[in-house]
Amino acid sequence: MSDAASQCTKIESEKTRDKEVSWALLPYVEQNTILPEFYERKRTFHFAGHSIEIEQDWQNLGVAGVVWDAAIVLCRYLEEGKINVRGKAIMELGAGSGIVGILAALLGGRVTITEREVAMPYLSSVVNANMENKPDIKAVTMVQQLDWEKDLDKYDETFDVILGADVIYIEDVFPALLKTLEKLSDKRTEIYISCRIRYERDRRFLQMLKDKFIVSKVYVDIDKDVRIYKAIKR
């Protein structure tokens, strides 16, 4: 095993053990040469006539404090009008920076943006900054804690649309993620998962998903090697 691979494995093991990390955890080595954009303090994105500013915090929050390609691709998919969000009840899972949920809100959705406790202060600050001077949108946008293994009992309702960018990685929590998707959806719910298929375990999750949902690949960004899957409950 290479030094880089060993470091990735160590990072994965440590962060899975203490669970002080976003569900969007991904196995990248902390090197400027690999992911220089993660060290940019502020990144500005433009989608559908809206500007979204993300204050990144890689040094303190790691994967939960930066914008991943899968989130950018899902935002572009929203921008193209591929998902009907206006007036819909929407949840973003494992939101990290919250960019996907923020855009869904700006496009007219009633959005609940969720993350684990450790990332809540950061997520709330990013969402609030982008909702400044937008009281009508802020009024229908919520930021809530959701640990897939602990907090599901807090949610009784189902959602029209569920969004997730790079939420399939830690195999230990695949059952909890699947249970979350089942609990928060009904047969009318559209689930969109944007991801790279990096490892065999990612394929295993897709198979688990197919056992409970009708799954189709609806979009591929070849340049970023990101796929978007749509799932509907059987």
Q: Please answer whether residues 185 and 159 qualify as being in contact, where contact means their C-beta atoms are separated by less than 8 angstroms.
A: yes
Any domain includes 1: no
Quote the pTM value.
0.86
Whether the pLDDT of residue 21 is over 90: the answer is: no
When the pLDDT of each residue in the chain is averaged and rounded to a whole number, the result is 88
Domain count, the chain: 1
Closest CA to 177 of 199, 197, 198, 202: 202
- Percent residues over pLDDT 90 in the chain: 78
| Region 184-212 average pLDDT | 96
Band of residue 29 on the pLDDT scale cut at 50, 70, 90: very low
Residue 105 has pLDDT above 70, yes or no: yes
pLDDT at 3 over 50: no
Asked whether residue 112 is domain-assigned, the answer is yes
Write the CB contacts of 178 (distance below 8 Å, at least 6 apart in sequence).
205, 208, 209, 212
Which structure tokens are listed for 203?
A: 């394929």
What's the rounded mean pLDDT across residues 165-176? 93
Q: Residue 86 sits in a domain of what CATH number?
A: 3.40.50.150
Domain of 107, in residue numbers = 69-233
What pLDDT score was predicted for residue 6?
40
> In 80-112, where does DSSP find H-type helix?
99-106
* CA–CA gap between residue 154 and residue 214 (Å, rounded): 26
User: Does 62 map to a domain?
Assistant: no
- Whether residue 13 is contained in a domain is answered as no
Domain assignment present for 142: yes
Lowest mean pLDDT among 90-94, 194-198, 229-233: 194-198
Does a structural domain hold residue 159?
A: yes
Per cent of the chain over pLDDT 70 is: 85
Q: Is residue 120 part of a domain?
A: yes
Position 208 in a domain: yes
